[in-house]
Amino acid sequence: MLFFCLATAGPLLAQSTGNLTVTITDIKNPGKGQIFFMLFKQADGFPKDMNKAAYKGTIKQFSNQATYTFENIPYGTYAVSVFQDKNSNGEMDSNLIGMPKEPVGAANQAKMGRPKFKRSAIQLRAPRQAIEIQFIND
């Protein structure tokens, strides 16, 4: 009986995670700096506090399009944000009033303004999912 439970639990557990591929299109400054991809599980820290992101990734080589895949992410609700760190200082630069000075984007964000977690949230429910994001101030 124990063997049967363990044998059937493996496939169930394997299906509870997925890969989320995030593609940024129409990058105006190809190859400049690095691009950070962040996945947040809660509103706290979203969209720019990398320390509060549940998952993060960086790519340093890209053209007018960049893609990063978060692998083996537990199914659930996540908000996605990205930014191009043009000067490679490891942070999102902003002006005195907090507006980003570097290209930024978030899932489901089509206009200027600070992205909200709820609006930028996506449901990861499949073994493979993909979304596209465009920088809004590039």
The model's pTM is 0.86
Domains of the chain listed by start with CATH number: 17-134 (2.60.40)
DSSP letter, residue 118:
H
Average pLDDT score over residue span 73-79: 97
Beta strands (DSSP E) in 12-127 are 17-25, 34-40, 55-59, 66-74, 76-85, 104-106, 121-124
Higher pLDDT, 132 or 4: 132
DSSP letter, residue 45:
T
- pLDDT value at residue 4: 45
